[in-house]
Chains A and B, each alone.
Chain A
């Protein structure tokens, strides 16, 4: 899709029949009293792709996430998930069911781990629903039946696989709250992946990471896309992350979608440049500065 086209018709409803569409957001609007946090935003997140959502502060990015994951009920709009099992309308689902049944996992802008519980426990809690069934809703578990013990061993094995991926095996038994910041970010992503999601929503995963850590994060996210068959929806300020790993980018400003397209297309989009760098000065800038603008965005 060309950037120019999408910028010209930002509210066009994307073709739903697109074979690879996993999530289609249509005319999403969220009002808080008089404040319009999101205004008629539509986009599609494709299967096996990383879709980036960028935009200046207050553009409504996190609100989109909160609508998607059931924390807010959208004022208007349709959130259609093309789940492998059956299509689902997210806006009609109860909050916890979006993770349980629809398989949408998320992380939070300010990390939300279970700090007093161990790293391993954090990952095992994420497999709660499967384990509950295996424990016969605690009945078999209380009796210590083998069926439950096997299920728990499996859960631990899965957790271990993710601990390997995020390099936290040695610290598995320590309280999650005692981990350094970067490790907590990785753990939160691993925990979200432990619910076996079809779509992983990451809210600024690179915030507060140093360049090395954010490089590792890129690797992790790409491996999630390529190896786990999970689509990723990514809110991010760190352009080095977004531009490098996103397959598709949606740009929001003041609650509206102002552009959409590939990283290169978005980077060159005049609307985006204006949103990030202001409007009036644009005309008077010396050419040399204008040339720099795309670099600032990269």
Chain B
């Protein structure tokens, strides 16, 4: 035993030796890590806890990690070809067998869960792509990769006006092209998160304030609307600005004392604030309904016309008014359909999110926006230039909160029911993940990542269990590979030389590397 340990401890001379050592060590570590948490599943019976073992899974995980490490080491040593061939063969075999199997489990891998097969297959694909890149270019240094990604981001930025136009067109036409409840619902969800993402982007991306309690403002907005509607019977449109104002006010109240704290302290305090709001909502039951939440929140009406088959007091509904008009003008019969309300909600959130998008884009180009970014870069220098750090941060915080409040009010009217459960920390984390993954400060990045993070799991329902674990892993990986996010590219807000200046700016950034 001692001999084995000594052999492993010595630095091996040959490459093969190094790789083998790396494989053994990482395999052993993963095996030990999984030995209890994966290897032994606790099951609670009425009689007490018992357990079953799953050591095949632990072994598979250890093997997979060892193989992955070997591949990485070989890539680092420049041996791209064997990795390429190996990973391609593996990927084809695994994905192929899984696909052919269909509903049955024909996969070559011994897992019960098909998603695990997919994870293995796709990981192999990623390896193959990297190997191909290394094979083609000769090196895969982090610096090179960063530069390439920067270039892609800059290109995306350049085409973003066209891309945005196309996306808006697509978004407007979506309910017409796919008049299905599931798809329109998904569109609503993605747009809601886009809007929240743009709001948080002001705080985190521009001003550099890590806010982990964003959901608190979302909750304040939702409850403002729900409570105003509940106690005073106010309509959605009257409450929407109110909800925003309430959230902004909460943002100011919280921000005033804590915004001078350093970045990571601020993060924890905002996190605590988010939890406080939730605890208060749960325990202030006579006012907020406690854990049961608030039911029967009114749905938004179209110019005062509700979306119902027949209104209870016999007054006009959307359908009863619009249908004759359409009939007389275009000869179209409009049947009552619950989808109308969903589509209407969809357009509300589309307009809201577009307003937020334009608003935040404009803010960025104003003195206040530049001051936010300057504050993110260097607070001390800002003070020396006469910029009031506290007020500047407060505006960012309050504007972010306001947008969160709008989102919350919309959430309340869409669901018709809210409870404190919807406003847990994980919601903040999801919105933060959207901002971080897309690229801090990038408007388009938010769209990309909310489509990825919110849209994809909705499409692949089986993935739902794995969604949060992928979130977490994704956040770590993005920080390692590309800390400023996928589409992290910053165009100056004002140019001296116009387009030529923009080009020079991009070139200078690319030559600097990913930073």
- Interface residue ranges, A against B (CB under 8 Å): 69-71, 95-101, 105-106, 108, 112-118, 120-121, 124-126, 128-129, 131-132, 135, 137-138, 141-142, 144, 148, 152, 156, 159-160, 163, 169, 171-175, 177-178, 191-192, 195
- Are B367 and A138 in contact (CB-based, < 8 A)? yes
B384 contacts which of A69, A156, A171, A178 (Cβ < 8 Å)?
A69
Find A120's partner among B395, B490, B494 (CB 8 Å cutoff).
B494
Which of chain A's residues have a CB closer than 8 A to the CB of B496? 120, 156, 159-160, 163, 169, 172-173
Q: Report the Cα distance A151→B461, complex, angstroms.
A: 53
Q: Report whether B492 and A95 are in contact in the complex, using a CB–CB cutoff of 8 Å.
A: no
**What's the nearest-Cβ distance from chain B to residue A227, in Å?**
21
- In the bound assembly, the distance between CA atoms of A222 and B380 in angstroms comes to 27
Does any Cβ of A come within 8 Å of B311's Cβ? no
Determine the chain B residues whose CB is within 8 A of the CB of A142 once the complex forms.
359, 362-363, 366
Asked if A97 contacts B367 (CB within 8 A), the reply is no
With A and B bound together, what is the CA distance between A146 and B371 in angstroms?
A: 21
Structural contact, B389 and A96, CB atoms closer than 8 A: yes
Known: A120-B495, A121-B370, A172-B495. 5 other contacts (CB 8 A): A96-B388, A100-B388, A117-B377, A118-B495, A178-B512
Q: Which of A98, A120, A131 makes the CB contact (< 8 A) with B492?
A: A120
* Given A100-B388, A142-B359, also A132-B368 (CB < 8 A): yes
Q: Are B505 and A173 in contact (CB under 8 A)?
A: yes
On whether A178 and B508 interact (CB within 8 A), knowing A121-B370, A142-B363, the answer reads yes
CB distance from B293 to the nearest CB of A (A): 36
* Residue among A71, A96, A175 having the largest count of chain B Cβ atoms under 10 Å: A96
Chain A residue with Cβ nearest B502: A173
A-B contact list, 29 entries, CB within 8 Å: A69-B384, A71-B380, A96-B382, A96-B386, A99-B383, A99-B386, A100-B386, A100-B387, A105-B385, A106-B384, A114-B378, A116-B373, A117-B374, A120-B496, A124-B367, A124-B494, A125-B374, A128-B367, A131-B367, A138-B363, A138-B368, A141-B367, A141-B368, A163-B496, A172-B495, A172-B501, A174-B504, A178-B508, A178-B512
Closest beta carbon of chain B to A6's beta carbon, Å:
30
CB distance from A114 to the nearest CB of B (A): 4
Contact A128 B387 (CB under 8 A): yes
B170 within 8 A of A: no
Is B494 a contact of A191 with CB atoms below 8 Å? no
- In the complex the two chains form, what is the Cα distance from A126 to B359 in whole Å? 24
The answer to whether B512 and A177 have CB atoms under 8 Å apart is yes
B contact residues around A105 at 8 Å (CB):
384-385
Do A112 and B381 touch across chains, with their CB atoms under 8 A apart?
yes
Contacts of B493 in A (CB 8 A): 121
Task: Kindly state the separation between the CA atoms of A108 and B494 in the bound complex, as whole angstroms.
Answer: 25
Which of A125, A141, A159, A171 has the most CB atoms of chain B within a 10 A radius of its CB? A125
Q: What residues of B have a CB within 8 angstroms of the CB of A114 in the complex?
A: 373-374, 377-378, 381
B interface majority secondary structure:
helix
* A177 CB contacts on chain B under 8 angstroms: 512, 515
Query: Number of contacts between A and B (CB, 8 Å)?
Result: 144
Task: Chain A residues near B283: list those with CB within 8 A.
Answer: none
B509 at interface by CB-CB < 8 Å:
yes
B contact residues around A69 at 8 Å (CB): 384
Shortest CB–CB separation between residue A97 and chain B, in angstroms?
Answer: 7
Q: Which of B362, B378, B505 contacts A141 (CB 8 A)?
A: B362
Q: Cα distance A189–B67 when bound, in Å?
A: 55
Residues from chain B with a CB closer than 8 A to the CB of A141 are 362, 366-368
Q: Is the CB of A195 within 8 A of B370?
A: no
Residues of A within 8 A of B374 (CB): 114, 117, 125, 128
Residues on B with C-beta less than 8 A from A144 are 362
Most buried by A among B374, B381, B505: B381
* A152 neighbours in B (Cβ, 8 Å): 494
Closest Cβ–Cβ distance, residue B487 to chain A (whole Å) = 15
- Selected from B366, B373, B386, B509, the residue in CB contact (under 8 A) with A138 is B366
Residues of A within 8 A of B387 (CB): 96, 100, 125, 128-129
Bound Cα distance A178, B496 (Å): 17
Is B497 an interface position by the 8 A CB rule?
Answer: yes
Which of A135, A169, A178, A191 is within 8 Å of B511, CB to CB? A178
Contacts of A96 in B (CB 8 A): 382-383, 386-389
Q: Which single residue of chain B is at the shortest CB-CB distance from A139?
A: B366
Cβ contacts under 8 Å, B359 to chain A: 142
From 379 to 406 in chain B, residues with beta carbon under 8 angstroms from any chain A beta carbon are 380-389, 395
Contact B386 A129 (CB under 8 A): yes
Known: A112-B380, A173-B497. A117 touches B504 (CB 8 A): no
Contact B370 A125 (CB under 8 A): yes
Tell me, in angstroms, the Cα distance from A160 to B496 when the chains sit together: 8
Q: List B residues 75-102 near A (Cβ within 8 Å).
A: none
Q: Tell me the complex Cα distance, A105–B382, Å.
A: 11
Q: What chain A residues lie within 8 Å of B370 (beta carbons)?
A: 117, 121, 124-125, 128
A70 to B490, CA, bound (A): 32
Cα A131 to Cα B367 in complex, Å, equals 6
A148 to B494, CA, bound (A): 14
- A-B pairs with lowest CB-CB distance, top 10: A173-B501, A100-B386, A99-B386, A118-B492, A114-B377, A172-B496, A131-B367, A174-B508, A112-B381, A141-B366
Give the contacting residue for B366; candidates A106, A118, A135; CB below 8 A: A135
Nearest A-chain residue to B384, judged by Cβ: A106
- For A169, the closest partner residue in chain B by CB is B496
Asked if B367 contacts A121 (CB within 8 A), the reply is: no
Is the Cβ of A195 less than 8 Å from the Cβ of B512? no
Chain B residue, CB-CB nearest to A103 = B386
Q: Are A117 and B384 in contact (CB under 8 A)?
A: no
Name the B residues within 8 Å of A159 (CB-CB). Answer: 496
* Most interface-central of B380, B508, B515 (chain A CB within 10 A): B508
Taking CB as reference atom, which chain B residue is nearest A179? B508
Contact B512 A175 (CB under 8 A): yes
How many whole Å from A70's CB to the nearest CB in chain B? Answer: 8
Contact B366–A116 (Cβ < 8 Å): no
B497: chain A residues at CB < 8 Å are 172-173
Tell me the smallest distance from the CB of B33 to a CB of chain A, in Å.
38
Give min CB distance, A102 to chain B, whole Å. Answer: 9
A141-B495 Cα distance, complex, nearest whole Å = 17
A118: contacting residue among B371, B382, B384, B505, CB under 8 A:
B505
Residues of B within 8 A of A129 (CB): 386-387
The minimal Cβ–Cβ distance linking B147 to chain A, given in whole angstroms, is 13
Chain A residues near B501 (CB, 8 Å)? 172-173
Bound-state CA distance A69–B383 (Å) is 9
Please judge, given known A-B contacts A121-B492, A172-B496, whether A116 and B377 are in contact too, CB under 8 Å: yes
Complex contacts, B371 vs chain A, CB 8 Å: 125, 128, 132
A95 to B384, CA, bound (A): 8
Point out which of B363, B373, B387, B496 has the most chain A C-beta atoms below 10 A from its C-beta.
B496
B367 contacts across to A, CB distance below 8 A: 124-125, 128, 131-132, 135, 138, 141
Q: Which one of A126, A144, A160, A195 has the highest number of Cβ atoms from chain B below 10 Å of its Cβ?
A: A126
Contact A156 B389 (CB under 8 A): no
Q: How far is the CB of A8 from chain B (nearest CB, A)?
A: 36
The answer to whether B495 touches A195 (Cβ under 8 A) is: no
Q: Across the interface, do A195 and B386 meet the contact criterion of CB distance under 8 Å? A: yes
List B contacts of A191 (CB < 8 A): 385
CA distance A142 to B387 in the complex (A): 20
Q: Which residues of B contact A128 (CB under 8 A)?
A: 367, 370-371, 374, 385-387
